[in-house]
Amino acid sequence: MKRSQRNRKRRNGNYREDYDRDGADGPRREEAVHRDKAQKHFLRHMKKKLALTFLLVALVLIGLSVAVGFIGKEKGEEYGQRVLAQQTVSSGTIPFRRGEITDRNGTVLATNEPVYNLILDPSVIGSGENVKGPTLDLLVECYGYDRAELEKLMTDQPNSRYIRYALWMSEEERDRFLARETEINDNLEIKDKIDGVWFETEYKRIYPYSTLACDLIGFSSKDGVSGSYGLEQYYNDRLAGISGRTYQYINEDSEAEQVIRDAVDGQTIVSTIDVNLQTIVEEQIRKFNEEIGSKNTAVVVMNPNNGEVLAMASYPYFDLNDPSDLTVSGYYTEEAVAAMSEQERKDALAGLWANYVTQSLYEPGSTAKPLTIAAGLEEGKLAESNTYYCDGGWDYAEGKRISCHRLSGHGELDLEGAIVESCNDALIQIGQQIGKEVFCKYQPIFGLGSRTGIDLPGEENGILKKEEDMSEIDLVTNSFGQNFDATVIQMAAAHCSLINGGHYYTPHVVKEIRNPDGSVAETMDKTLVRETISESTSEFLKKAMTAMVDEQRPWSTAIPGYEIGGKTGTAEKLPRKDRKYVVSFTSFLPASDPEYFMMVVIDEPNVEDQSTGGHATNLTRSLWEAIIPYLNLFPTRDTGETPDGEASPETPAETANQTNGENPGNGEGPASGENPAGGEDPVGNGDPAGGETAAGNEEPGNGEEPANGENPVGGETPSGEAPPDGEDGAYSNGIFQGDFE
């Protein structure tokens, strides 16, 4: 018998014995069999479930492994930062240093000074009486704080770890506390301990020269993040750096660790400005406004051969370290400021901060006459040998006349004489000769009507007449600089192209940009935009404008031994009836090969008759007299006298020419009908720059107010008096006579 059969019988025998003992064999046996089958079925089912569960867990673990591997490879750094952020106990900012602004020679015009914020940590200060008491006592001792206020702060915010209690302390104030803290904490004989106080470093923007070049530099916010106006605004992205961070966190070993991300400092802007030249310019502007005064006085000095701006200034000025102070320049009194409304104060500040050279429009007047002549020469519409007869004005309708500043007329003038005498009548004829097509073609070529591209914010475009909208009267008035608007920098850039051989360079005020380590990041080379005129036209204009300065009387710009070229300008402001003027003068030297160009613009000089007196001419002479020695420019003429011999080094030209009210050059007084200053009126009855004066306020045919000097009341003087009998030798108070339609 097989073993399995014997075992089965043995088991059956045992069951039978059990059943016999219990006295019930059938039911007991069935129950045991059923239980045995149930157990076997349960075991088989559990094995299947366990196998399935194991398989699922394995699949999940494999999937997680793959996902973790992918995350670690593709986004490990990002998630690492998130984990770091979740574990951070505290963090702080490391401020960047805003880039400096310097002049062309490295003199610092804008820099940074470290300042310190006092930080309190109440959770540490309140950790024990041996800390709280001494720490608060020391704060009171060093800074005079209110002890009760400090106690209340500790009570109200006991768990705070960061309270900026005082801002922008000096290094001396910081060190005062730190020295006493060290002294107390190092004293082992006492239990007192100073803790929970620390200092956070920031940088304060400072301007060492206060008001110098304020229009050009602009100013920045206290934190150095953003700039307003000037270079601070235009180059803000280069000047501003990137703040750093410090992170304190708990690592896997529950220990505090710190991660530091260093700040990136801003770049340094090296400007084209010469700080000494800028100082000279501003000093002369200040003197002028102390003696005479104006609504605004602006000067720009440039290198005509590359577009670099060497000095740029205007009055009134402001303090870069406190730009909201309206009283610095004396233009506004404290009483006037106190009486201002909030809106009036905002408007005054906006006007003060704006750069007159780039952001103000004006009618240029006679400084535009060389541009008109240049256009005609370039297009072959004019020749140097052309002559024009000035009879004192131009009649464009019955009883309607546009007058020259010399009512008796200049007689016959050649092209050079038209510039020297600043003759309106000759320019009218020249404008008609070249036509509006050529005239309108060359205004944009000279950069008028559009931004020059100077690297300063808020530059204005200018306003010109389109060819299709230009009437005959528009062409006539535009030809001698009236009835269109430009900016000072536009006129300066245009004149630079006239005298440098016809090359129009973009004006710029930055020479290079340097990295924080001093290496050069970018160099701003000269940018040639276009050619405006030929070399021959440029040579003619330099000669004509040099003759204009040499023959000026009585307010002469001529300086013995030096060749200076230039052109006057007078612009009457709207509304014409108010008789408010902007007078200007452009000049350059050495005239034969210009190295320096200067433009002076005076907006509303504080005199009764703003159109007379040679104010721009006189200021120009004072500037050159101060600038020439600094630049170490040597004389370019053999004689110490001007060509006609009126002036000497000991006797300034303006003094020699005004002795006893006579004109020493020809023996005739200013009232004799001669033109003593190339169109300037020495007796206060006319226009120092070509007669562009007026009291007129009637509308011209194009619907605009009359141009500078439009006097539609029959040639009457401002007081209503008729001009001198016969008009010979009289000076017009307005260029438009008769009703202007």
Mean pLDDT of 292-303: 95
| Alpha-carbon dihedral 381, 383, 386, 391, rounded to 10 degrees | 50
The reported pLDDT for the residue numbered 76 is 64
Distance, C-alpha 594 to centroid of its chain: 28
The H or E element containing residue 370 is helix 369-378
Which pairing describes strands 387-390 and 411-414: parallel, antiparallel, or unpaired?
A: antiparallel
**Does 570 score more than 90 pLDDT?**
no
8-state DSSP, 100:
P
Strands (E), 369-482: 387-390, 393-397, 400-403, 411-414
CA distances from 699 to 73, 421, 474 (A): 77, 28, 12
pLDDT grade for 249, boundaries at 50, 70 and 90: low
Lowest mean pLDDT among 56-65, 291-300, 445-454, 584-593: 56-65
Residue 255's pLDDT is what? 65
**In the prediction, which pLDDT does 277 show?**
98
Phi-psi sector, 704: left (phi>0), alpha (psi -120 to 50), beta: beta
Q: Distance (Å, rounded) from C-alpha 40 to C-alpha 318?
A: 101
Better-scored residue on pLDDT, 454 or 405: 454
Q: Is pLDDT above 60 for 226?
A: yes
Structure-token pair, residue 596: 């320096």
Give the pLDDT of residue 652. 37
Say yes or no to pLDDT of 565 above 60: yes
Residue among 542, 448, 538, 526 at smallest CA distance from 491? 448
What's the mean pLDDT in 733-739? 44
- Mean pLDDT throughout 730-735? 38
pLDDT for the residue numbered 494: 98
Q: Is the pLDDT of residue 723 over 60?
A: no
Task: Write the DSSP assignment of 588-624 as a string of letters.
Answer: EESTTS-SEEEEEEEEEESSSSTT-S-HHHHHHHHHH
Whether 697 and 575 have beta carbons less than 8 Å apart is answered as yes
Mean pLDDT over 691-707 rounds to 35
Q: How many percent of the chain have pLDDT more than 90?
A: 57
Separation between Cα atoms, residue 668 and residue 257, nearest integer Å: 92
Percent of the chain with pLDDT strictly greater than 70: 77
Asked if residue 600 lies in contact with residue 585, where contact means CB atoms within 8 angstroms, the answer is yes
User: Of all helices (H) and strands (E), which one includes residue 409?
Assistant: none
Q: Report the distance separating Cα 535 and Cα 65, nearest Å.
A: 79
Is the pLDDT assigned to residue 361 strictly greater than 90? yes
Q: Is the pLDDT of residue 453 over 50?
A: yes
Q: Which of 108-112, 281-285, 707-711, 736-740 is least confident?
A: 707-711
Tell me if residue 440 falls in helix, strand or coil. helix
Is the pLDDT at 209 greater than 70, yes or no? yes
- Higher per-residue pLDDT: 80 or 195: 195
Q: Are 498 and 469 in contact (CB under 8 A)?
A: no
| Token duo for residue 42 | 């349960």
The pLDDT value given to residue 256:
64
Predicted confidence (pLDDT) at residue 411 exceeds the cutoff of 50: yes
User: If you average pLDDT over residues 355-371, what whole number do you get?
Assistant: 95
Q: SS3 for 377?
A: helix
User: Please, how many CA atoms are within 13 Å of residue 439, restricted to the half-sphere of its CB?
Assistant: 32
Distance CA 527, CA 530 (A): 9
Angle at 292 between CA 288 and CA 294, to 5 degrees: 85
**Mean pLDDT lowest among 33-37, 139-143, 366-370, 719-723:** 719-723
Q: What's the confidence (pLDDT) of residue 552? A: 83
Alpha-carbon distance of 502 to 504, in angstroms, equals 6
Model confidence at 246: pLDDT above 60: yes
pLDDT the model gives residue 663: 34
pLDDT digits (tens, 9 = 90+) for 636-649: 887 554 444 444 33
Lowest mean pLDDT segment, chosen from 16-25, 286-295, 339-348: 16-25
What's the pTM?
0.74
Q: Judge whether residue 446 has pLDDT over 60.
A: yes
Cis-peptide into 706, omega within 30 deg: no
Beta bridge partners of 388: 413
pLDDT at position 250? 63
pLDDT higher than 70, residue 79 = no
Q: Summarize pLDDT for 103-112 with one digit per residue, the tens.
A: 999 999 999 9
Distance CA 184, CA 576 (A): 77
Q: Which residue has the higher pLDDT, 90 or 141?
A: 141
What pLDDT shows up at residue 681? 34
CB neighbour class for 729 (10 Å; exposed up to 12, middle 13-18, buried from 19): middle
Mean pLDDT of 145-153: 92
What confidence tier does 728 reach under pLDDT thresholds 50, 70, 90?
very low
Alpha helices, H only, 101-163:
122-125, 129-143, 147-156
pLDDT of residue 467: 95
**Residue-wise over 582-592: b if at least 16 C-beta within 10 A, else e?**
bbbbbbbbbbe
Please write the tens of the pLDDT for every residue from 463-522: 999 999 999 999 999 999 989 999 999 999 999 999 999 999 999 999 999 999 999 999
- Looking at residue 239, its amino acid is L
Amino acid at 114: P
- Give the tokens for residue 533: 């005129």
Average pLDDT over the chain reads 81
Residue 292 has pLDDT above 70, yes or no: yes
For residue 387, the Cα-to-chain-centroid distance in whole angstroms is 46
pLDDT at 16 over 60: no
What's the rounded Cα separation, in Å, for the pair 697 and 365? 17
How does residue 661 score in pLDDT terms, banded at 50, 70 and 90?
very low
Determine the average pLDDT of the residues in 164-193.
89
Higher pLDDT, 368 or 68: 368
Amino acid, res. 303: N
Q: Return d(Cα 136, Cα 130) in angstroms, integer.
A: 11
pLDDT level of residue 283 (50, 70, 90 thresholds): very high
Rounded distance, CA 37 to CA 32, Å? 9
Identify whether the C-beta of residue 209 lies closer than 8 Å to the C-beta of residue 148: no
Reported as a single tens digit per residue, the pLDDT across 610-631 is 877 789 999 999 999 999 999 9
CA 222, distance to chain mean position in Å, is: 17
Asked whether the beta carbons of 89 and 121 are under 8 A apart, the reply is no
Please tell me whether residue 313 adopts helix, strand or coil conformation.
Answer: strand
Report the pLDDT value the prediction gives residue 65, as an integer from 0 to 100: 80
Query: Given this model, what pLDDT does residue 353 score?
Result: 95
Output the pLDDT for position 12: 52
Q: What are the tokens at 437?
A: 């097509």
Q: Do 618 and 544 meet the contact criterion of CB atoms below 8 Å apart?
A: no
What sign does the CA torsion over 365, 367, 369, 374 have?
A: negative
* Whole-angstrom distance, CA of residue 31 vs CA of residue 18: 13
Instruction: With beta carbons less than 8 A apart as the criterion, state whether 611 and 691 touch.
Output: no
d(CA 94, CA 181): 24
**Position 173 pLDDT exceeds 70:** yes
- How big is the chain, counted in residues? 741
